[in-house]
């Protein structure tokens, strides 16, 4: 009987590790006291994507091709010490689950910013931004299909 219970516990823990996503992290913390939360639904992205051109301030970079393919935006920010600890642990679990790889890291005077991507082939299907300071953390997850070629074009145009 003990072996069956131990096996069931291991299976449940494994399933919960796979269930971790940007959306589940957002759902867990969005109603916590001291947490600022923003969610943008797939329908909002479809609505925005119907606008012919969504240009940046300088007018050279058209964001519409990427916006049309997004399916979720989740942002959490907090300075609550308890939530900082729990949120940081959950983001690390998400990253260590193996779907994400580190794309960029920047450190400056106690602040660390990391960007992780989940890829399917040459395309990005999820981006995670995690910024941590001693007294504040911010988590952003953007889900959707971001074609590598479209991203390269945007980066090229924005750096001119």
Residue 37, pLDDT score: 95
Write out pLDDT tens, residues 74-103. 999 999 999 999 999 999 999 988 789 998
DSSP secondary structure string, the chain? -HHHHHHHHHHHHHHHHHH--HHHHHHHHTTSTTEEEEEE-HHHHHHHHTSS--B-TTS--B-HHHHTTEEEEEEEEE--HHHHHHHHHHHHHHHHTTT-EEEEEEEETTEEEEEEEEEETTEEEEEEEEEEETTEEEEEEEEEEE-HHHHHHHHHHHT-
Between 145 and 8, the higher pLDDT residue: 145
Domain boundaries, the chain: 20-158
Per-residue model confidence (pLDDT) at position 93? 92
Give the chain's length. 160
> What is d(CA 9, CA 40) in angstroms, rounded to the nearest whole number?
35
Task: Say yes or no to pLDDT of 2 above 70.
Answer: no
Tokens of 113: 């910013």
User: For residue range 120-155, what is the model confidence (pLDDT) as tens digits?
Assistant: 988 899 989 999 999 999 999 999 988 877 777 776
Residue 14: pLDDT over 60: no
Q: pTM of this prediction?
A: 0.77
pLDDT at 18 over 90: no
Q: What is the pLDDT of residue 118?
A: 92
């Amino acid at each position: 009987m003990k072996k069956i219970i131990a096996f069931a516990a291991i299976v449940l823990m494994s399933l919960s590790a796979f269930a971790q996503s940007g959306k589940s992290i957002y759902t867990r913390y969005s109603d916590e006291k001291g947490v600022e939360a923003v969610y943008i639904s797939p329908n909002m992205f479809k609505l925005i994507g119907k606008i012919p051109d969504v240009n940046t301030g300088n007018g050279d970079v058209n964001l519409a091709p990427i916006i049309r393919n997004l399916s979720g935006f989740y942002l959490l920010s907090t300075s609550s010490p308890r939530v900082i600890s729990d949120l940081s642990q959950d983001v690390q679990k998400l990253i260590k689950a193996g779907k994400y790889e580190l794309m960029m890291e920047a450190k400056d005077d106690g602040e660390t910013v990391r960007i992780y991507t989940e890829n399917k082939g040459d395309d990005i299907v999820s981006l995670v931004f995690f910024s941590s300071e001693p007294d504040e953390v911010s988590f952003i997850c953007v889900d959707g299909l971001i074609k590598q070629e479209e991203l390269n074009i945007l980066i090229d145009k924005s750096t001119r």
